[in-house]
Each structure stands twice: as C-alpha cells, then as structure tokens.
C-alpha cells in the first residue's frame, strides 16, 4: 500500500525546501476542497502534502498602497466578510463567494481555485478582469505574474514543482471603477460554471468607458482575457451597439468543448449573454462609485 | 370496526405528533446501514466492469489474495448457477436468474459497473487495493445504450436467449426486446375518424436515479452451524431474505435479516446488490463482512428507472370529448428484462373515461444498469407524454385544460383500458380543488407560464403483519414488518392509539426482524399505511376484545357486558353493574392473574387499496437567453383518502413533486461513446437543491377509501406522476414551444428558443 506524508511548515522557505526535496509527487494544500476530493477519488496520489496554512500571512487581507493583498489561503468566507474589499472589488468577491456552499466557503481559497486549474474556476475570470497578480515564491525568491499567466491548461500551471503562490495583489482603483462576475449554472448553487464572465471597467465623469478588462471562464482550456471584448466597451456608455459588439467578441473568443455540462453551441451563446449582463452590472456599479 | 365518516370523533388520527423516530434522526443516533459493526468484521469491496459490454475471458485473483490482510474473494463461481424463475418478491417482477447475474456477472458483463468479483479484507483500504489487484481479462463487445438503437435488428445482442415474449408466432431470432404488451378497448381507428381535432407527439425521457441520500450498505455474518444474519438498509428485510436465500441456496429459517434505518429508497431499495456478496464472503471466511457502496457505485450499478421513447396520439370532438387515445411506449429495462412498461401502459390514460384506447409497450434491454422501481414505476414516464398531449389538445380545442379533463374524467364505475372498473375514486374532486385554488387564477408576468397535469397510481395492499402488545404498565408496543421510509411508524402508533383510545405517546412502534414478526411484503407500492395499517388496527381490535374479557373477569360479569370507551373498560349498561371504569393500565397490571400477557399479532393480505389521483399546477419563468427555468410556484393537489399524519402525507406530496421537477429539468445519465457514464455523482447528476425550489404547496383532498378502517389510500407514488408534464406545460405556456424531450435543460431550451421547435 502507498503511503502519504503530511507537513505543515511554518515558513515559506521551509515549504519550498519540502517541495524541492520530495521524492514523489508533492501537492500544496490550502483549503483542500479540491485536493481532498481528488485524493479520495484516487485522481491524484501524492507522496507528500505540504499544508501552507501555518505560514504567517498566508491567511488574511491587507490594504496596501490603496490596493489589496490577499493571502493565498484566505478563505472565501473571510473574503466575503471584508467590507472594504467588497466595496472596491465587488466582482472578485462575488465570484469567490459563488464557490461551493457555506461549508466550502469556510475553506476554499483563491490559490486553490487558481492552481486547481479548472477552466471553470469561478474566481479566476474575476481576478483576471480585475488585473490581479499572483506572488509566487520559489528557491530563487519571489516573482509576480498576472493571474492569466498562471494556468497553462486544464490541471496544469506555470509553477515549478518547488514554487507556490503566497499572495494575490489587487491594484489601486481609479475613480469610477468597478467589476462584476456572473456565471451560468443549471441549478442555483452547488454547481460548476458552464460559462463564467468577469468584467472590470473604469468610466469617465460622463459615464464613458475609458478602460476595460473582460475575462471568460469555462469556454476554453483556460480562462480567457478577451481584448476584443474590452475594445467593444472602451469609448462607449454601453449602448446597444457596444453590447452587440461585446456579445459578438465574446462568442468569437470561445473555444469550448461539448461535455456533460453544456454543448459548444450553448456555451458560445451564453458567453455572449453573460458578458453583456456582467458589463451592465459593472457599468452600473462604476457609475455609482463617482 | 370502521371509523370513516366520523372524522370529528378522531382524537389521534389527523393530528401531527412528533414522529417516534424523529429525535434519533435529528440527533444522529439513528443507525443506518453503514453504522453497524460486528466483532472480527471484514470490509468488502466490489470489483466492477470498466466496459459497457464484454465477455469475461478470465479472472485471476491470485495477486489480490496474496496481499496481506486480504481474507477472501468471490466470483460467480462461488454462487449457484440458478435457473430462470420468475419472482414476485420486490416491487416489480424479477427473475431470480437475472438477479443472480446482476449481483455478480457470469461469463459476460452487461454494463459499466457490473460486479465481476468481490473481495474482503481487514480494512476498507486493503480491500480497495485488493480490488485493483484482481486481474480480469475481457473481450470487449459492441454495446448499445439507447432504447431505439437497441431495438434495431442489427443491434448488439445482450442475451442470446431473449425472444420477445407476447408475440405470436414466437420470433425466430433473439433480440433486445424482452416483451411486448398491448392493451386495447374499442376501436381507435373509428375513434380518430369521429375526432374533430387530433394531436400527436413524439416524446423521450431519460433514465433517472432514485437518488436516495444513503448508499446501499449491509453487514453479514455466518455461524459455523449455518445460521446467518444480515443487517441492511432496504425497503423490505423479508425481500432481502427471500433473494439472498435463493441466490445462495439457503433455507430461509437459517437467515435472519434485521432492518437498519433507511436513508431513502423511493423504490430503489426493493432489490439486492451487496447482501448476497457479503454473506457469501462471510460464509467463506467465517467472519462478518460489511459492504458500503460509494455514490459512484450507486450511480453506475443500481437503479435507475427507465428512459423511454413514446409516441402519443389523441383525438377529440369539438366539444372536448376524447374519442381515441393511442400510444406506443418503448422503455429501457437496463441490462436485464423488466422495465415498468406494463404499468406505464396501464397508467397513461387511466385518469380518463375513454371508449377507444390502444396502448402498445416494449420492454427493451441495453447496456445500462438494470432498472429498479422508482415511485409509481412507469407511470411518470407515460404521463409526461400523455399529459403533454392532453395539454396540446386543450390548446387546439381552445378549452381550459381542467375543463377538458373534467369532461373526460374517470369516476366510480369507469372501466379502465386495462380491465379494472374503478370504485370510489377522487379524480373529479381533485380537479375541482385545483380549479378552485387561487393559484390557478393568479396573474402571470412576462416570460412566465402556467401548466397543469394530472396523474394516477394504483396503490397496492398485500401481505403484512403487525402485532400489538400491552406492557405490564399499560404502555403499548406496536411491532410491524414494514421498514419505515416515510413516517410509517408514526402512522402505525397513531392508528393503534386511536383504536385503543389512549394517547399516542404511550405507544412505541418498532420494525422487527424477519424472525420476530410474520411475513411482510416490501415497503413499496404505497402499501404500508394501508395494509400494515390494517393489520395494526385489527391487532389493536383483537387486544381490545382481550381487555374487555379481562375486565369482565375482574368484575365477574359476562364479556358481552363490557364496552371499550376512551381507553377504558366500562359496563355496557345499567344492567351490567355499577363498576368504575377500568383503564387500560389497571387491566394490564392484573394481566398475570386474568390469563397472562395481553397481545395479538395479525397477518393479512390486504385487498382493495384505493387508487390515487393528483393534479399539479406549476408556474415557471424562462430566461430565453440562457434556457434557465425557474419554478416560481407549485401546487400539488392529491386525493389522499384520509391523512393519518398530515405532515408526512404532505411530505410525500412535496417530495414527489421535487423529484419530478428534477426529472423534468436537469436529471439525466450522460454516456460517452464507449458506453460509460460521465456523470456518476451528484455534482453533474443534478437533483434540485433547496434554493432551486419554491415551497411546494400540498393540498390534501380526502375521499376516504371505504375498505380501510380509517379510509387510507396510499399517497407515496401519485405525487411523482404529474410533475414532468406540469413543468413542460408551464414551459409551453411561457415560450409557446412544446418541449418533447426530458430533461428540459438549459441547452435544450435555448436551442428550442433559437429554432422555435422543442
Ligand atoms: C462541494 C464543492 C463545491 C464546489 N463549488 C465550486 C464552485 O462553485 N466554483 C468553483 O470554482 N470551485 C468550486 N469547487 C472547487 C473548490 O472548492 C475551489 O476550486 C476552491 O477554491 C479550491 O480552494 P482550496 O483552498 O480548497 O484548494 P486546495 O484543494 O487546497 O488546492 C487545490 C489545488 O491547488 C493547489 N494549491 C493550493 N494552494 C496552492 C498554492 N498556494 N500555490 C500553488 N498551488 C496551490 C493544490 O495543490 C491543488 O492542486 C467546489 C468544491 C466542492 C467540494
């Protein structure tokens, strides 16, 4: 029978040392809401589990230079309860809070959601739209990468085996900026996104969009940052024309698969729908933040 | 004694006391199938087929047996190769040979998840590792999943000896069509010729799982003298005993089966899967063996009910008299014969008084798990098609759908197409209650629609045993052989308390093992409150006779001079003497001196179960861009005969409606091209979650069944019959599109919105 070791290091360096020195497969553990399910089903059989939650700072939210630093293992529940974060990045917070149920929220983290590398992860399009960056620690020190560069394919990330994420940064906001995230699921909860759409916009005093980022989930092997969608929004007040362009750009960007959760045709159409609806919410929120 | 008609006199029946099993269940003390342990117990696991259809070339368990901690392996070679024999043990017909082959494959695997071997070891981990070490060599065969593909002449054949039954002359070639059924009255061709309006539709439904929350679990032990014991969670421990004894070639008296608390069954626990394997391994190793399925096992290897393809055609005159009804139903049976197509055929049009009916059904095998009973087996599938067609007919006639149903409603004296003439039934009363409910006339908003559909189920009686014992202190035990799935212990205690005239708190009901109470058929067919209830009432009445006799002895007067009133013996009149009433407890205290313990057991075969009818009204809102359906409001009206414990009757109605809504909107088995199931778990097999549903309003109509002392009709199955058509008819109202295929999931609805065809 195979054996499984567990370690809960107290420092980042110790964690890196354990990951680097592991003889078999080593897995980083944050909330475990993906990892434990995969262990139980036999989908992953690591030799070592490195639990990060004892590392100081890996759980918690700080305001720094007008932006936010969110520890990699901070739970969805803590993120949802942070009033300042929810006011400035409502889209990231609502996306994170969509994960699972009350029970799952007590554990589920942004790092786990990102590094599980599911195309359908809810917080990821929202983080990408928000321009979030991940701080990755490794033997050579720390590097900061945009969230959209972390996942390279389903179940795969750009992290080396001795690297892990320690925190996420959300930049300082320009005035009249806001974000929104919507997902489509057949039920009302406890489901995996068939399509997800994160939209982040900045408006000028007249309500015209000056900057936008749009990200789509579950419609391609990784969450997409869609420049054409952003282009459809910039310069507009979200009139019919802009919405139609956004819808088309979103559909054009999709490279989905047919699976048990939805057909190609359905995913493409709904991506356009959700991009429009999320954009409308983001515009409304941004206008309210003047 | 009959109590019907005096509802106002009833003190216990119709009230809502706390259920006797409730505290244990909410505090976690109740012991379900997986909660039992025995000294020296081993854990068992099943090795399952990874293929949809394959010949088993060889099974080599030597590596598994060599793993430290492994105590035994069984394969089909360890079980008697029993001949074909029809059994009526569970809820539907079952062939003992098929059951044996379903529990452990012999020669061929017929679906992904089919058991090929079982192993027991000192821990679950070792058993799981041992499973992986069992080498099975397969020769993969072509498979067939869909029902119409399985009926094609060149389809891969599951059973070389399957010749369609009920066709003359007997077919020359075997096929996957196990059986044809045909019900006909009148002349449908003539009926359609009289019709001013005809509607037709081609419908399909997907198999759906009963989705009980508790996976199958059991523990089995075998004594050196051959006496065996099984504790398991099922809908009938006598059923477990009958099946296991047959499959292992045992005498029934050597096998005691104790019922565990059951975490849901809905029909799916009226068959055996693990018990024969666990007991075979217990006999082989001499140690108790416990087996618990994973949820994935449950999906791949148990249940569900059939998926089907159905063609329906209805004709009516301008003023709404249905002149002809015709249907062809093709039901998936899974890997072995025995879909519920026959009851489906019988129920399709049973709500209506029709002159010309022709219904043909086919029972078709394919490479899926063998279907098991699921609430009102067969009826919901047929009703989805039939009640969708009735809705189309009402629209085409420009008639209110309730008015159309009223015009054709079955009533006392109506002869059904399958031959039975209805006695007292409550369909008209149900329709009236639906029509008068405020829901039916409430306003609707944009993108919203309202649908109504009705449903019928036979309900059964059958064999039951119950006993009533008076304890020395005057408290009472009620013992029955019916596993309690829906609150039946509460109902038994209440009926006994009502008859005895004592508070229900003094009555403790239990479910006894197979050696401690007379034979009792499964908890299924909505039969327990009716049949076991009747046995309980009769046992209580017998006890009252004894109590009167004892009081007569104490008073030294003739027994005829004693009456039983409000829980006490009283002199029948002035002539009988001026004695103070003798309460039950006072008589119990003197039992030893008046003849010994007081108690009675009644075993009976209850006839005359009253059929049930329901009408469901559903409002939906459809998001046309995403195809998402929100159920806004749902009212379920049902003739319940008489509600013994109204909360549990309402619970049955609400639960049936919810399962039906899941069936309508999202539940389905997703198979890949290899014939393997892609969604064997609750994440992607989507039963409704609480936030998907409005409060389901249950409206109980009481048309008492005169053949039960309290007027009981079964209530557990009717409520799952109407929902699929009720939801479909509501979607039809919202979108103007008739959806023909279940589930009416978002991708299908969005595609229908885009194409204009459902
Ligand atoms: C019932 C249920 C419902 C769910 N519903 C949703 C849902 O609605 N939406 C959704 O998106 N997800 C859902 N999930 C999946 C899961 O909860 C989320 O992906 C969650 O965010 C994972 O976070 P975690 O901290 O639990 O990750 P873990 O399980 O701890 O880790 C997940 C993966 O990330 C890696 N990892 C963890 N931390 C780090 C790190 N710091 N650096 C590098 N790699 C790391 C792990 O090695 C592992 O591979 C659900 C899960 C369950 C069980």
pLDDT at A1 over 60: no
The answer to whether residues B667 and B743 touch, using CB atoms and an 8 Å cutoff, is yes
**CATH of span B7-30+461-606:** 3.30.365.10
What count of residues does chain B have? 758
**For atom 15 of ligand 1, which residue has the closest CA?**
A34
Model pLDDT, residue B5? 58
Reported confidence tier of residue A3, pLDDT bands at 50, 70, 90: confident
Model pLDDT, residue B500? 97
The domains of chain B are located at 7-30+461-606
Model pLDDT, residue A41? 86
Q: How far apart (Å, rounded) are the C-alpha atoms in residues B168 and B189? A: 23
Cβ-defined contact of A262 to B746 (cutoff 8 Å): yes
Map residue B526 onto helix, strand or coil.
coil
Chain A residues closer than 8 Å to B679 by CB? 260
More confident residue, B94 or B93: B94
**Following DSSP, what letter does each residue of chain A receive, concatenated?**
----EEE--SSHHHHHHHHHH-SS-EEEESS-TTHHHHHHHTS---SEEEE-TTSTTSS-EEEETTEEEEETT-BHHHHHH-HHHHHH-HHHHHHHHTSS-HHHHTT-BHHHHHHTT-TT-SHHHHHHHHT-EEEEEETTEEEEEEGGGTEEETTEES--TT-EEEEEEEPPPPTTEEEEEEEE-SSSSS---SEEEEEEEEE-TTS-EEEEEEEEESSSSS-EE-HHHHHHHTT--S-HHHHHHHHHHHHHH-----BTTB-HHHHHHHHHHHHHHHHHHHHHHHHHT-
Helix axis angle, A264-288 relative to A240-253, nearest 10°? 140
- The alpha carbon of A224 and the centre of ligand 1 are apart by a number of angstroms equal to 19
Q: Domain A61-170, CATH 3.40.50.300 — does that match?
A: no
Numbered ranges of CATH 3.30.390.50 in chain A: 177-288
**CB-nearest partner of A1 from B129, B666, B689:** B129
Q: How far apart (Å, rounded) are the C-alpha atoms in residues B91 and B266? A: 11
pLDDT digits 0-9 by tens, B534-567: 999 999 999 999 999 999 999 999 999 999 999 9
Residues with CB under 6 A from ligand 1: A 27-35, 37, 52, 72, 98-100, 104, 107-109, 111-113, 115-116, 121-122, 159, 164-165, 192
- Atom number, ligand 1, closest to the C-alpha of residue A37: 53
Mean pLDDT on A229-250 = 98
pLDDT digits 0-9 by tens, B675-697: 999 999 999 999 999 999 999 99
Model pLDDT, residue B88? 79
Tokens read off for B600: 């009675």
Model pLDDT, residue A258? 86
In this structure, which topology does domain A5-51 adopt according to CATH?
A: 3.30.43
A177-288: CATH class: alpha beta
Chain B residues closer than 8 Å to A265 by CB? 747, 751
User: Which has the closest alpha carbon to B103: B156, B64, B140, B48?
Assistant: B48
**For atom 37 of ligand 1, which residue has the closest CA?**
A112
Minimal-distance CA residue of chain A relative to B127? A1
Q: How far apart (Å, rounded) are the C-alpha atoms in residues B447 and B749? A: 13
Residues near A110 by Cβ (< 8 Å), separated by ≥ 6? Answer: A70, A72, A74, A79, A96, A123, A127, A168
Model pLDDT, residue B93? 74
Map residue A167 onto helix, strand or coil.
strand
Q: How far apart (Å, rounded) are the C-alpha atoms in residues B377 and B346? A: 11
By percentage, how much of chain B surpasses pLDDT 90?
96
**CB-nearest partner of A261 from B126, B665, B684:** B684
pLDDT digits 0-9 by tens, A25-56: 999 999 999 999 999 888 999 999 999 999 99
What does pLDDT average to over chain B? 96
pLDDT digits 0-9 by tens, A78-95: 999 999 999 999 999 999
Residues near B253 by Cβ (< 8 Å), separated by ≥ 6? Answer: none
Numbered ranges of CATH 3.30.465.10 in chain A: 61-170
Numbered ranges of CATH 3.30.43 in chain A: 5-51
3-state percent breakdown (helix, strand, coil) of chain B, nearest 5: 30, 25, 40
pLDDT at B194 over 70: yes
């Amino acid at each position: 029978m195979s054996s499984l070791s567990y370690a809960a290091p107290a420092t980042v360096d110790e964690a890196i040392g354990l990951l680097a020195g592991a003889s078999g497969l080593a897995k980083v553990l944050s909330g475990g809401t993906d990892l434990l399910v995969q262990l139980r089903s036999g989908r992953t059989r690591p030799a070592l589990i490195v639990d990060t939650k004892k590392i100081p700072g890996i759980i918690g939210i700080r305001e720094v230079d007008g932006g936010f630093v969110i520890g990699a293992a901070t739970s969805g529940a803590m993120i949802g309860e942070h009033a300042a974060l929810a006011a400035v990045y409502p889209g990231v917070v609502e996306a994170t809070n969509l994960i699972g149920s009350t029970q799952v929220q007590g554990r589920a983290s942004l790092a786990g959601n990102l590094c599980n590398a599911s195309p359908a992860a809810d917080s990821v399009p929202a983080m990408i739209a928000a321009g979030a960056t991940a701080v990755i620690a490794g033997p050579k020190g720390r590097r900061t990468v945009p969230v959209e560069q972390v996942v390279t394919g389903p179940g795969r990330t750009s992290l080396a085996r001795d690297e892990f994420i320690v925190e996420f940064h959300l930049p300082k906001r320009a005035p009249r900026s806001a974000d929104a995230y919507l997902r489509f699921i057949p039920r009302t909860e406890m489901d995996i996104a068939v399509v997800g759409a994160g939209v982040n916009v900045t408006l000028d005093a007249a309500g015209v969009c000056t900057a936008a980022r749009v990200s789509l989930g579950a419609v391609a092997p990784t969450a997409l940052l869609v420049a054409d969608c952003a282009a459809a929004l910039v310069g507009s007040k979200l009139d019919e024309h802009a919405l139609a362009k956004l819808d088309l750009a979103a559909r054009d960007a999709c490279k989905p698969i047919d699976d048990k959760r939805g057909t190609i045709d359905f995913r493409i159409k709904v991506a356009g729908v959700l991009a429009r609806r999320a954009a409308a919410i983001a515009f409304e929120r941004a206008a309210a933040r003047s | 004694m009959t109590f019907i008609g005096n509802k106002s006199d009833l003190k216990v029946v119709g009230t809502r006391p706390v259920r006797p099993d409730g505290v244990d269940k909410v505090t976690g003390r109740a012991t379900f199938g997986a909660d039992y342990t025995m000294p020296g117990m081993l854990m068992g696991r099943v090795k399952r087929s990874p293929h949809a259809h394959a010949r088993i070339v060889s099974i080599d368990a030597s590596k598994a047996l060599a793993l430290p901690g492994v105590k035994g392996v069984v394969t089909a070679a360890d079980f008697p190769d029993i001949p074909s024999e029809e059994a009526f043990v569970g809820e539907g017909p079952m062939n003992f040979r098929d059951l044996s082959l379903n529990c452990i494959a012999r020669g061929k695997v017929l679906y992904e998840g089919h058991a090929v071997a079982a192993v027991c070891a000192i821990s679950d981990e070792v058993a799981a590792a041992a499973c992986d070490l069992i080498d099975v060599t397969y020769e993969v065969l072509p498979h067939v999943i869909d029902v119409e593909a399985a009926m094609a002449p060149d389809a891969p054949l599951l059973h070389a000896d399957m010749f369609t039954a009920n066709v003359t002359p007997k077919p020359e070639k075997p096929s996957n069509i196990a059986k044809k059924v045909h019900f006909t009255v009148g002349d449908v061709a003539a009926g359609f010729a009289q019709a001013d309006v005809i509607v037709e539709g081609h419908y399909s439904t997907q198999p759906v799982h009963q989705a009980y929350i508790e996976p199958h679990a059991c523990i089995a032990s075998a004594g050196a003298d051959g006496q065996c014991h099984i504790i398991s969670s099922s809908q009938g421990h006598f059923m477990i005993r009958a099946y296991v004894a047959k499959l292992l070639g045992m005498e029934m008296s050597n096998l005691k089966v104790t019922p565990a608390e059951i975490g849901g069954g809905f029909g799916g626990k009226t068959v055996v899967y693990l018990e024969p394997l666990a007991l075979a391994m217990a006999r082989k190793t001499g140690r108790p063996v416990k087996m618990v399925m994973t949820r994935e096992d449950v999906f791949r290897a148990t249940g569900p009910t059939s998926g089907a393809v159905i063609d329906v055609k209805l004709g009516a005159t301008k003023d709404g008299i249905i002149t002809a009804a015709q249907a062809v139903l093709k039901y998936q049976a899974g890997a072995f014969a025995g879909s519920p197509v026959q009851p489906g055929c019988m129920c399709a049009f049973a709500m209506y008084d029709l002159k010309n009916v022709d219904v043909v059904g086919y029972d078709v095998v394919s490479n899926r798990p063998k279907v098991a009973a699921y609430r009102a087996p067969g009826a919901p599938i047929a009703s989805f098609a039939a009640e969708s067609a009735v809705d189309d007919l009402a629209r085409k006639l420009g008639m209110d759908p309730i008015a159309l149903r009223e015009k054709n409603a079955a009533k006392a004296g109506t002869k059904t197409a399958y031959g039975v003439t209805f006695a007292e039934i409550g369909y008209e009363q149900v329709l009236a209650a639906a029509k008068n409910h405020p829901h039916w006339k409430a306003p609707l908003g944009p993108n919203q629609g309202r649908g109504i559909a009705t449903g019928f189920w036979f309900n059964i009686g059958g064999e039951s045993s119950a006993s009533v014992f008076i304890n020395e202190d005057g408290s009472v035990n009620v013992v029955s052989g019916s596993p309690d799935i829906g609150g039946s212990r509460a109902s038994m205690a209440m009926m006994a308390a009502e008859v005895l005239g004592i508070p229900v708190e003094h009555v403790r009901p239990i479910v006894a093992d197979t050696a401690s109470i007379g034979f009792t058929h499964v908890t299924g067919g909505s039969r327990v409150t009716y049949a076991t209830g009747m046995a309980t009432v009769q046992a209580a009445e017998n006890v009252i006779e004894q109590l009167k006799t004892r009081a007569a002895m104490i008073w030294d007067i003739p027994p005829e001079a004693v009456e039983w009133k409000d829980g006490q013996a009283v002199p029948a009149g002035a002539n009988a003497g001026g004695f103070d009433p003798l309460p039950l407890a006072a008589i119990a205290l003197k039992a030893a001196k008046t003849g010994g313990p007081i108690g009675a057991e009644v075993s009976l075969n209850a006839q005359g179960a009253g059929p049930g009818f329901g009408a469901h009204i559903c409002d939906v809102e459809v998001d046309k861009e995403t195809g998402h359906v929100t159920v806004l409001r749902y009212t379920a009206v049902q003739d319940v005969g008489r509600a013994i414990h109204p909360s549990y009757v309402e619970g049955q109605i609400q639960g049936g409606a919810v399962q039906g809504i899941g069936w309508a909107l999202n539940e389905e088995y997703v198979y890949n091209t290899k014939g393997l199931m892609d969604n064997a778990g609750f994440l992607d097999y989507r039963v409704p979650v609480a936030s998907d549903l409005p409060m389901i309003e249950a409206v109980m109509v009481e048309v008492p069944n005169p053949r039960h002392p309290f007027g009981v009709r079964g209530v557990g199955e009717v409520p799952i019959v109407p929902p699929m058509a009720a939801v479909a008819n509501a979607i039809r109202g919202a979108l103007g599109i008739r959806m023909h295929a279940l589930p009416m999931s978002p991708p299908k609805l969005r595609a229908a919105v885009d194409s204009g065809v459902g």
